[in-house]
């Protein structure tokens, strides 16, 4: 099947004419037809417009150019998206908050092992979340603020991505299987309009070891993406774990951008494209933004 495609190669400061030439050869080698090509930004990002099968082209390019991020998307959808729905932990920030909280309780290794298995899709998310939260019972609520101040750092490119999209009219939602005391300030710092996450139950200024229902899980993330009202072809969904797969597949299946960011294998396989090397500004390149267009923090 031959579809109109936009193929974007991204390697900030390291994309060479040889990479571009090799990519063109790969596209032709899988019986896709390049229609046009041009530098989005010399040395940083390059666009190839082509006709071909997206999955075949992506797989061939990722194998041939292992040091380059490759975004292959439909050429018929709006390139600049009008909605971003993003995961928080290990996507918009550089850590898993629950693992860092567990470190204050002296049980990081035990909790992190459960987190990793859940993000790989080996455990039920809700059950794994309840099990980890139970281990935090008795932790002072004040530890949440301490953890956020000491451990939470934004992912490089997070502010540029969200603020640029918002400045160009996009709606924005941070949706996390983590916790509201982290999600709300993180969303504010990055520039998201809304944040939705889980709520920890509290008793007498310590964590009760339980999480309020309903739990924000994969189904909730997908439902929030669909309920926004923005056409899904104009949506971008990005995350790294198994609980992000339904929203990523939903965006991609409708012609939008469903992106796996430095993701677990199952998530990368389910996405239409993955960011393997660069930061979140790769998603600006995918939308055709030049550096001069990026919003400043």
Mean pLDDT, rounded, for 248-253 = 96
Mean pLDDT, rounded, for 190-209 = 97
Q: What is the pLDDT of residue 297?
A: 65
Mean pLDDT, rounded, for 236-241 = 97
User: In this structure, what token pair is assigned to residue 213?
Assistant: 């229902």
User: Phi and psi for 90 in degrees, rounded to 5?
Assistant: 65, 10
Query: Which residues form the domain of 3?
Result: 1-76
Q: Is residue 17 part of a domain?
A: yes
Q: Is residue 45 part of a domain?
A: yes
Q: Is residue 250 part of a domain?
A: no
Mean pLDDT, rounded, for 205-212 = 96
**Catalytic residue of the set 47, 69, 89, 99:** 89
Radius of gyration of the chain (CA): 20
Q: Is residue 57 part of a domain?
A: yes
> Residue 123 to residues 53, 61, 115: CA-CA distances in angstroms?
33, 32, 9
Please say if the pLDDT value at position 1 is more than 70.
Answer: no
C-alpha count within 13 angstroms, C-beta hemisphere, residue 63: 10
Q: Is residue 71 part of a domain?
A: yes
CATH code at position 35: 3.30.70.260
Mean pLDDT, rounded, for 237-253 = 96
- State the helix-helix crossing angle for 158-167 and 180-190, rounded to 10 degrees: 60
Q: Is residue 23 part of a domain?
A: yes
Count how many domains the chain has: 1
Pick from 187, 191, 171, 169: nearest CA to 179: 187
Question: Is 53 labeled as catalytic in the residue annotation?
Answer: no
The reply to whether omega before 162 is within 30° of 0 (cis) is no
Q: Is residue 26 part of a domain?
A: yes
Task: Supply the pTM of this predicted model.
Answer: 0.95
Question: Is 87 labeled as catalytic in the residue annotation?
Answer: yes
Distance from C-alpha of 97 to C-alpha of 89, rounded to nearest angstrom: 7
Q: What is the mean pLDDT of the chain?
A: 96
**Catalytic residue of the set 44, 47, 69, 87:** 87
Q: What is the pLDDT of residue 296?
A: 82
Q: Quick one: 13 exposed, middle or buried, by C-beta within 10 A (0-12, 13-18, 19+)?
A: exposed
Q: Is residue 180 part of a domain?
A: no
């Amino acid at each position: 099947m031959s579809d109109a495609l936009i193929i974007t190669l991204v390697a900030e400061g390291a994309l060479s004419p040889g990479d571009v030439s090799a990519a063109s050869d790969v596209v032709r080698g899988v019986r896709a037809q390049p229609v046009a090509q041009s530098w989005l930004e010399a040395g940083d990002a390059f666009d190839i417009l082509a006709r071909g099968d997206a999955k075949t082209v992506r797989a061939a390019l990722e194998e041939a150019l292992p040091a380059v991020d490759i975004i292959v998307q439909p050429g018929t959808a709006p390139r600049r998206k009008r909605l971003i729905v993003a995961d928080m932990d290990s996507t918009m920030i550089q850590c898993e908050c629950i693992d860092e909280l567990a470190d204050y309780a002296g049980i990081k290794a035990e909790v992190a092992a459960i987190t990793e298995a859940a993000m790989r899709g080996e455990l039920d998310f809700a059950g794994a979340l309840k099990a980890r939260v139970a281990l935090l019972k008795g932790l002072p609520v004040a530890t949440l603020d301490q953890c956020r101040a000491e451990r939470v750092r934004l992912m490089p490119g997070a502010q540029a991505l969200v603020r640029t999209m918002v400045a160009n009219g996009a709606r924005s939602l941070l949706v996390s299987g983590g916790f509201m005391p982290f999600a709300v300030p993180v969303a504010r710092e990055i520039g998201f309009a809304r944040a939705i996450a889980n709520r920890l139950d509290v008793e007498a200024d310590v964590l009760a070891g339980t999480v309020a229902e309903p739990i924000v899980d994969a189904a909730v993330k997908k439902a929030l993406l669909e309920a926004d009202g923005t056409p899904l072809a104009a949506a971008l969904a990005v995350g790294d774990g198994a609980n992000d797969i339904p929203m990523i597949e939903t965006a991609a299946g409708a012609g939008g951008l469903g992106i796996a960011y430095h993701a677990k294998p199952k998530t990368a396989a389910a996405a239409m494209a993955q960011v393997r090397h660069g930061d979140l500004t790769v998603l600006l390149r995918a939308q055709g933004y030049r550096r001069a267009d990026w919003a400043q923090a």
